[in-house]
Amino acid sequence: MWIESQAVLKTMLDLKRNYQVPSYPVHDSLIVPKSKADRAVMQLRAHYFGELRSYHSEPTLLDLKVSTWLGEPEASKGS
């Protein structure tokens, strides 16, 4: 859990400081503008494996996936 939280936090800071991309954490994921999803995936992958390498000698290769949702937020439906 510590590795994931550090990777998400470092990714959020990196996106903000270096790419001016806003992000919002939700559980074990990040919400970012759709146009910046590829950048967010690259940064999250880099930070996750960077954290993993500091705890383990050989990281397990994981297939990180991105999903996008283009619907209305539940609160705005029917308004």
* Helix residue ranges, H only, the chain: 2-19, 37-55
> Tens digits of per-residue pLDDT, 10-48?
999 999 999 999 999 998 789 999 999 999 999 999 988
pLDDT computed for residue 76 by the predictor: 57
Strand ranges inside the chain, DSSP E: 24-26, 29-31
pTM assigned to the model? 0.69
User: CB count, 10 Å around CB of 38?
Assistant: 11
Residue of 54, 18, 10 lying closest to 36 (CA atoms) = 18
